[in-house]
């Protein structure tokens, strides 16, 4: 699929500076499921067009990349390689990551100026919703036109195709156009290829901050962008409303905290992922002082809650936090704490629908990680595993860390996004899981977000399979 952006005016080749892409050179970018190409089909004084061509590998999408299980998201016969979809949004953020922030160094003035821009999107899925193209794009200042097709000329009965070629034209800053496209492509295309979790609420509010609160179709946009996940949509609405609220001059004291701490966002994302998968029995491995357990205990969906930690002191604090000393019999039966180590096989870990491992693996010595992998994914084998760990690339944002430092004195390692994904994909493949990734916390285009999360789902056929691991390393005892 193809996105073109045309700048008309004077000296229009400067579009290259705003996009950080040289008009004289075609460039290729490797993406998870294919490649993106950027090139300029026309460069004249009055008119310059940049094109982003996305070439997805349909086999990768169906089967997953060689050596990974990150794919396998779609059927073999799927429309993904041919349509403007969430993959195109991901490519926009990856390829035009700086442009979307509006930073343009020597060309800042141009970047800050509304200019005459036209964007075309080929094959945007839009079944029966062409009216929405107008009501969504026009309030943002675009003139909207689109081309429709009949599905197959030999079979006129099949009617119109669900895809349109869309053209929008307006006078606006380039970064605004990119933000609109990033958010609105997946609004029309309903089949998102990523896990829609709380981090998507963050992203939506961040990229929509200038235009979404006032948009007459904001409910439709939020609902669709967040995949109609009611809890997330409600959260987005609440945050928008909080941001809208006039400052109460008389009562400056208790302003609602708009920004959650990273820890709160992380635990919130884990709870959201658990709630959306209808699990009832949850075990928190490396539960520490019980922050996650406390959130889980508030939700009636979770009928059995357990926490495991190696640290007696941490468990003692969890007992206090959860007020277990004074709890009634039902609550004591519902919430259990156990001292144990994640690198030793332990029958008490079995029987839960989901296991959470939140900011724990980086505390394990790397040579013991294999033992942990086997304990959890081979012997315990819960149907769902939610695991988070720091994204080392983000450390560049922490001013008090020197290059190469880790975030915490007890961390034995921290992984880049690529390292985490490679590890997780290998685990998934060895033990019969599929894994989806998401990011937690404020992300930037270059380093990503501070925390990374993998959600592992046990494949149906792997439930009864006798696990076989190729690892010859340290065995769990």
Work out the angle at residue 37's Cα, subtended by the Cα atoms of residues 36 and 43, and round it to the nearest 5 degrees.
145
For residue 14, state whether it binds ligand SAH (rule: CB under 6 A): no
Alpha-carbon gap, residue 358 to 291, rounded angstroms: 10
Angstrom distances, CA of residue 460 to CA of 75, 349, 454, 463, 465: 17, 20, 18, 6, 10
For residue 95, state whether it binds ligand SAH (rule: CB under 6 A): no
Work out the angle at residue 135's Cα, subtended by the Cα atoms of residues 134 and 141, and round it to the nearest 5 degrees.
75
Least separation in angstroms between CB 408 and ligand SAH: 8
* Maximal CA-CA distance, the chain: 78
- Residue 206's nearest CA partner among 231, 240, 165, 235 is 240
For residue 227, state whether it binds ligand SAH (rule: CB under 6 A): no
Q: Contact at 8 Å (CB) between 305 and 328?
A: no
Alpha-carbon gap, residue 202 to 226, rounded angstroms: 11
Least separation in angstroms between CB 356 and ligand SAH: 8
Least separation in angstroms between CB 319 and ligand SAH: 14
Binding residue for ligand SAH (CB under 6 A) from 176, 199, 200, 309? 309
Q: Which residue's CB is nearer to ligand SAH, number 175 or number 374?
A: 374
Q: Which residue's CB is nearer to ligand SAH, number 73 or number 292?
A: 292
Binding residue for ligand SAH (CB under 6 A) from 291, 370, 430, 434? 291
For residue 314, state whether it binds ligand SAH (rule: CB under 6 A): yes
Alpha-carbon gap, residue 441 to 359, rounded angstroms: 14
- Residue 225's nearest CA partner among 253, 251, 189, 261 is 189
Residue with the closest Cβ to ligand SAH? 288
Using only C-alpha atoms, what is the Rg of the chain? Answer: 25
Q: What are the residues facing 51 on neighbouring strands?
A: 4, 39
Number of residues counted as binding ligand SAH (CB under 6 A)? 16
Q: Which residue's CB is nearer to ligand SAH, number 81 or number 288?
A: 288
Alpha-carbon gap, residue 233 to 223, rounded angstroms: 6
Binding residue for ligand SAH (CB under 6 A) from 364, 386, 387, 424? 364
Alpha-carbon gap, residue 23 to 11, rounded angstroms: 13
For residue 359, state whether it binds ligand SAH (rule: CB under 6 A): yes
Least separation in angstroms between CB 89 and ligand SAH: 30
Residue list 172-191, contact with ligand SAH (CB under 6 A): none
Least separation in angstroms between CB 316 and ligand SAH: 12
Alpha-carbon gap, residue 203 to 97, rounded angstroms: 13
Least separation in angstroms between CB 236 and ligand SAH: 25
- Residue 440's nearest CA partner among 205, 179, 197, 231 is 197
Binding residue for ligand SAH (CB under 6 A) from 103, 363, 417, 426? 363
Q: Around 472, how many Cα atoms within 13 Å sit in the side-chain half-sphere?
A: 0
Binding pattern for the stretch 323-352 against ligand SAH, x by CB under 6 A and - elsewhere: ------------------xxx---------
Using CB under 6 A, which of the segments 83-91, 126-134, 345-353, 355-363 binds ligand SAH?
Answer: 355-363
Q: Which residues bind ligand SAH (CB under 6 A)?
A: 286-288, 291, 309-311, 314, 341-343, 358-360, 363-364
């Amino acid at each position: 699929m193809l996105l073109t952006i045309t700048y008309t005016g004077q000296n229009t080749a400067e579009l290259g500076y705003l996009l950080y892409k040289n008009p004289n050179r075609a460039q290729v970018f490797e993406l998870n499921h294919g490649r993106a190409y950027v090139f300029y089909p026309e460069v004249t004084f009055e008119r310059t067009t940049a094109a982003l061509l996305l070439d997805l590998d349909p086999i990768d999408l169906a089967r997953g990349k060689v050596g990974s299980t990150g794919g396998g998201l779609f059927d073999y016969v799927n429309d993904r390689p041919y349509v403007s979809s969430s993959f195109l949004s991901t490519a926009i953020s990856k390829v035009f990551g700086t442009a979307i922030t509006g930073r343009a160094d020597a060309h800042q003035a141009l970047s800050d100026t509304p200019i005459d821009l036209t964007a075309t999107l080929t094959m945007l899925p839009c079944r029966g919703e062409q009216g929405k193209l107008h009501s969504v794009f026009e309030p943002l200042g675009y003139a909207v036109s689109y081309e429709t097709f009949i599905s197959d000329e030999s079979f006129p009965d099949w009617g119109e195709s669900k895809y349109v070629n869309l053209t929008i034209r307006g006078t606006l800053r380039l970064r605004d156009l990119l933000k609109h496209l990033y958010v609105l492509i997946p609004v029309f295309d309903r089949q998102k290829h990523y896990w829609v979790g709380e981090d998507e609420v963050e992203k939506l509010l961040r990229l929509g901050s200038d235009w979404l609160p006032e948009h007459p179709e904001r409910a439709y946009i939020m609902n669709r962008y967040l995949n109609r996940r009611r809890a997330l949509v409600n959260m987005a609405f609440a945050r928008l409303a909080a941001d809208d609220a006039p400052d109460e001059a008389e009562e400056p004291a208790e302003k609602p905290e708009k920004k959650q701490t990273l820890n709160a966002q992380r635990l919130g994302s884990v709870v959201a992922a658990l709630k959306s998968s209808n699990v009832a029995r949850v075990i928190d491995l490396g539960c520490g002082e019980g922050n996650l357990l406390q959130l889980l205990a508030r939700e009636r969906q979770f009928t059995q809650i357990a926490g495991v930690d190696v640290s007696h002191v941490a468990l003692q604090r969890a007992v206090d936090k959860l007020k277990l000393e004074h709890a009634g019999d039902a609550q004591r039966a519902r919430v259990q704490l156990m001292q144990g180590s994640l690198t030793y096989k332990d029958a008490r870990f079995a029987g839960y629908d989901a296991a959470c491992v939140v900011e724990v693996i980086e505390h394990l010595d790397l040579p013991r990680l294999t033992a942990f992998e086997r304990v959890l994914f081979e012997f315990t084998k819960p149907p769902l595993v939610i695991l988070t760990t720091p994204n080392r690339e983000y450390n560049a944002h922490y001013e008090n860390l020197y290059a190469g430092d880790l975030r915490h004195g007890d961390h034995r390692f921290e992984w880049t996004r690529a390292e985490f994904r490679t590890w997780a994909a290998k685990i998934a493949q060895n033990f019969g899981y599929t894994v989806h990734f998401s990011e937690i916390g404020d992300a930037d285009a270059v380093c990503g977000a501070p925390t990374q999360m993998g959600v592992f789902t046990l494949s149906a056929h792997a439930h009864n399979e006798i696990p076989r691991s190729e690892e010859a390393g340290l065995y769990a005892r």
